Amino acid sequence: MRDCLFCGIAAGDTPATLVLERPRTLGFRDLNPQAPTHVLVITRDHHADVGTLAHADPTLMAELMATGHDVAVQEGITGTGYRSVFNSGRDAHQSVQHVHLHVLGGRDMGWPPG
Ligand code: DGP
């Protein structure tokens, strides 16, 4: 999709530090990390948010979650634990309108989140 930041990363037009590449999904480091491990996992296809993706393509939704888990394995944080987050809409502070799974870990994450 034109003018979409994460479509640009998926296409290789916008630089990012890639950590895991799959045919339909991609993991890269967050520019503003909130934990020692903070990776964003996206679908290469454009979907605005997690609800849209889940209804449009449940198989791809499952692939996104599996890629997130594989990122956590690769980062070595499954033993200590990690958090998976989707922000949707204004109140959740979704700032990029292309579905992205935050995979966070490497420290005590605390609960509830802010
Ligand atoms: P959210 O608030 O859920 O929409 O999270 C968007 C995340 O995207 C935020 O944690 C910062 C990250 N981000 C924004 N611009 C860039 C970028 O150009 N490159 C990378 N790697 N991450 C970005």
CATH code of the domain containing 39: 3.30.428.10
Q: Which pLDDT belongs to residue 102? A: 98
Q: Considering the domain boundaries, does residue 28 fall inside one?
A: yes
- To test the pocket of ligand 1, the residue of 50, 96, 100 to mutate (highest count of ligand atoms within 8 Å of its CB) is 96
| Pair of tokens at residue 113 | 């989140």
Q: How many domains does the chain have?
A: 1
Residues classed as catalytic: 100
Atom of ligand 1 nearest to the CA of 93: 2
Centre of ligand 1 from the C-alpha of residue 48, in Å:
14
Q: Considering the domain boundaries, does residue 20 fall inside one?
A: yes
Higher pLDDT, 114 or 50: 50
pLDDT digits (tens, 9 = 90+) for 16-54: 999 999 999 999 999 999 999 999 999 999 999 999 999
Tell me if 30 CB under 6 Å of ligand 1. Answer: yes
Q: Considering the domain boundaries, does residue 47 fall inside one?
A: yes
Q: Which pLDDT belongs to residue 25? A: 98
Write 48-57 long-range contacts (CB < 8 A, 24+). Answer: 48/97, 48/98, 48/99, 49/86, 49/88, 49/89, 49/94, 49/97, 49/99, 50/86, 50/88, 50/99, 50/101, 51/88, 52/99, 53/99
Centre of ligand 1 from the C-alpha of residue 58, in Å:
24
Please tell me the pTM assigned to this model.
Answer: 0.98
Give 2's pLDDT tier (boundaries 50, 70, 90).
Answer: confident
